[in-house]
Chains A and B, each alone.
Chain A
Amino acid sequence: MAKATGAASPLPLPAETVILQIRLPRVLAALAVGAALAASGAAYQSLFRNPLVSPDILGVSAGAALGAVVGIFLSLPVLAIEAASFAGGLTAVIIVYGIAAAIRGRDAVLVLVLAGVVIGALFGAGVGLLKYLADPYNQLPAITFWLLGSLAAANLHDLTSLLPVVVIGLIPLGVLRWQIDVMTLGEEEATALGLDTRMLRIVVIAAAMLMTSAAVAASGIIGWVGLVVPHLARLTVGPAFARLLPVSLLFGAGYLLAVDTAARTIGAVELPLGVLTAAFGTPVFLWLLAFGRRPAWS
């Protein structure tokens, strides 16, 4: 506040540094990563007409993981590791989409998903190989730490690359919200209702790919949020993307912030985010499954 108004800060300097340089970037990163993962998951679930789809479906996490692990294996600086992770995520999805585009005459969505599964597995094998070869005292813990996800290292610089990418990814999802609903009916019906399904699919995949890659590059692999938060949102406000997207964003951002705060404070050492997202999310999810939104008429 004082910073913004230009008045002399009432806080002692170390406290100001902690709040502005350490806590604030971490809070903002948690909000952005949670929102990005949840929005990507919601978009993919609608696009692939399956509520069990996560943003990883086209291999983005496996690609990002391999990129980061290669970076750690080569002892690159942190910035380069993040860049490698981002590039790895994009590369995996582009390869998957390229394979699906090359194989014609089959259900396009099915080919995409299967290509995503096998390419993801291949990249996962690459990660396994590098873990096997890595120096067990320095590199292996770093790799493990990264693969479990953490925002401990989030700084202002991460935000300047993360936030714009997330915003760029969100814009097309926001403006295409009505068409994304129609995509949930499947390729043929959506086409018969007047959609250019191929173009829409490319745009949605590109948007989700950008957001997920940026999120994973900043935080490592954080499972669960992209799979389950959209589900929670759908149980709360129904499947229409115009409501699903903003609610997924809020839930995802709020959820990851809460989990990250817990990760930071719950134990003597920081706990991995990927572990806590699942540990906290599972009871919440089960509760909503049992008591969430029911059809209006029952």
Chain B
Amino acid sequence: MSAPRLAVEDLSYGYPGHVVGHKLSFTVGAGEVLCVLGRNGEGKSTLFKTILGLLPPRAGTLRVDGEPISSWSPRRRALTFGYVPQHSGGAFPFTVAELVLMGRTAHRGPFAAPSATDRAAAEEAIAALGIEHLAEREWLRVSGGEGQLALVARALAQEPRILVLDEPTASLDFGNQVRVLDAVRSLAETRRLSVLLSTHHPEQAFACADQVAVLAGGKLLQIGAPADVITSATLRACYSVEVAVLPVAEDRYRVCVPRLYLQ
């Protein structure tokens, strides 16, 4: 059996003097979507940043296709991992097309201008997300959902093997949430991308995930298929609220409803 696309082995993460997560282990295969749940402050972003190499791991090993990545350069990581941050730090009025083109940085030498290949890849990524109409608009001036799609397009332009999205649907309207999750799901399928995404809506796992990981108390509380993990008991343990998980449409999907509203 070949090595999984991403293997996280006994990973502890956090900041100097403050370990946030202890000894997490899980794997994500090619074409698989892993959805990470956990309360605010549970360290989902910290976990992602550690996987991306933006924070050094406190302990443990990360492997991509079986190879340890601790000594990888930022450039090599960027060729493997595409990152969609929760908020982009961009402060200058670049156009969406320029922003997406920045996703190609790792594909060229430090002094090189973007090549025709780079521009084609950026255009293709923009088309894949269906945001051609935004290409020439300033990225700071588009709506939150459109900006998020632009960041996904940028990550896609990186041509990564693993896509990491930190709460990609936070602050999106309902339609854009569906659009982003659908885009993620179809990218995983058509491009065999491994996807890690975090969310505060457990239900979204039924829409797009193959696996769900629940973080609680700095540990991996549970990991498995959405139907097995997203249960009243797990959600109670994770969020300290009573939730009913109800099947709809002959159990093709499940909804999570706080019991408070059912009384």
| Docked CA distance A241–B110 (Å) | 14
Partner of A239, one of B76, B93, B113: B93
Partner of A192, one of B73, B83, B91, B92: B83
Contact A297 B91, beta carbon cutoff 8 Å: no
Contact A178 B77, beta carbon cutoff 8 Å: no
- Whether B262 is near chain A, meaning CB under 8 Å from some CB there, is no
Q: A residues within 8 A CB of B153?
A: none
| Docked CA distance A197–B75 (Å) | 11
Q: A residues within 8 A CB of B141?
A: 295, 297
| Docked CA distance A296–B95 (Å) | 10
Q: B residues within 8 A CB of A234?
A: 92
Given the known interface contacts A181-B98, A192-B83, A194-B79, the answer about A186 and B90 at a Cβ–Cβ threshold of 8 Å is yes
| Docked CA distance A195–B77 (Å) | 10
- Whether A191 is near chain B, meaning CB under 8 Å from some CB there, is yes
Contact B138 A240, beta carbon cutoff 8 Å: no
- Whether B190 is near chain A, meaning CB under 8 Å from some CB there, is no
Give the one of A50, A188, A189, A195 with max B CB within 10 A.
A189
Q: Tell me which residues from 147 to 179 in chain A have a Cβ below 8 Å from any Cβ of chain B.
A: 175-176, 178-179
Number of interface residues of B (CB under 8 A): 40
- Whether B74 is near chain A, meaning CB under 8 Å from some CB there, is yes
Q: Tell me which residues from 103 to 146 in chain B have a Cβ below 8 Å from any Cβ of chain A.
A: 103, 105-106, 108, 110-114, 136-138, 141
Cβ contacts A211-246/B at 8 Å (1 or 0 each)? 000000000000000000000001000111010000
Contact A188 B54, beta carbon cutoff 8 Å: yes
CB distance from B114 to the nearest CB of A (A): 7
Partner of A178, one of B49, B73, B90, B112: B112
CB distance from B16 to the nearest CB of A (A): 6
Give the one of B16, B75, B103, B110 with max A CB within 10 A.
B110
Contact B85 A188, beta carbon cutoff 8 Å: yes
CB-defined A-B contacts under 8 Å, sample of 22: A51-B91, A176-B110, A178-B113, A178-B114, A181-B98, A184-B94, A185-B102, A187-B89, A188-B49, A188-B85, A189-B83, A189-B89, A191-B74, A192-B74, A192-B78, A192-B81, A193-B158, A196-B75, A197-B74, A234-B92, A239-B93, A295-B137
Given A181-B98, A185-B90; 15 other pairs, CB 8 A cutoff: A49-B92, A176-B110, A178-B108, A178-B112, A181-B94, A181-B102, A182-B102, A194-B75, A194-B78, A195-B74, A234-B92, A238-B94, A238-B95, A295-B93, A295-B137
Chain B interface (Cβ < 8 Å from any Cβ of A): 15-16, 49, 52-54, 73-79, 81, 83, 85, 88-95, 98, 102-103, 105-106, 108, 110-114, 136-138, 141, 158
Top 4 A-B pairs ranked by shortest CB distance?
A: A194-B106, A186-B89, A194-B78, A239-B92
